[in-house]
Amino acid sequence: MDDVKETVLSILKDLTGEDFSTKLDENLYDSALLDSMGTVQLLLDLQDKLGVEAPISEFNRSEWDTPAKIIAKVEATK
């Protein structure tokens, strides 16, 4: 599942300009690195690159607020 982690980290780096490889527990919303537009782009990128279906209508920010949680969510859908 390392490719999932690498892909998620790559998407996050493209969206935020930040490298999260050593900051997997950083809250992306509290640190203002992701906003609602960034969230939509994140979900689109996850769907495009990893085939993850995560409808925005079912999106719960608290379940997707750190890189580690995003990786876990993506791996759970695989």
Cα 8 from Cα 71, distance rounded (Å):
6
Q: In terms of pLDDT, which residue wins out, 21 or 58?
A: 21
Query: Cα–Cα distance between 59 and 41 in angstroms, integer?
Result: 13
Q: Is the pLDDT of residue 1 over 70?
A: no
Separation CA 8–CA 11 (nearest Å): 5
Q: Which residue range forms the structural domain that includes residue 21? A: 2-77
Q: How many domains does the chain have?
A: 1
Q: What is the CATH number of the domain that holds 39?
A: 1.10.1200.10
pLDDT tens profile 23-44? 999 999 999 999 999 999 999 9
Q: How far is CA 5 from the centre of its chain?
A: 10
| pTM of the predicted protein model | 0.91
